[in-house]
Structure 1
């Protein structure tokens, strides 16, 4: 049986679409992974993105 660790959602925010956000999220994930904080980014619609922050 797999032992899956659940992620706890800390917060989320919808913002206007910005192509540079992928670089920012990548930077944050690389620099905060040792603190068990994970950032996510998803496209909500043509003009908006959602940023999520998780603690593992």
Structure 2
């Protein structure tokens, strides 16, 4: 099993309590198209989040 995950795009955005809902619906809706979405808090600025799109 050779699973390679490639980062397609990354953007820093203003953090919001509901951002995880967007990432969740994108992952549920587009998983058959071999894309995955991630969300992490920015270590340098707690008011920012890092949104990443991956190809699986």
**Does the alignment reach a TM-score above 0.5?**
yes
Residue 4 of structure 1: CA displacement? 4.2
CA RMSD across the alignment? 0.9
- Aligned match of 1:6 in 4, 11, 30? 4
Deviation at 1:35, TM superposition (A): 0.2
| Count of residues in correspondence between the two structures | 54
Once residues 3 and 47 of structure 2 are traced to their aligned partners in structure 1, the CA distance between those partners, rounded to angstroms, is: 33
- The aligned counterpart of 1:54 is 54
Which structure 1 segments of 5+ residues have no match? none
Q: Secondary structure at the match of 1:52?
A: strand
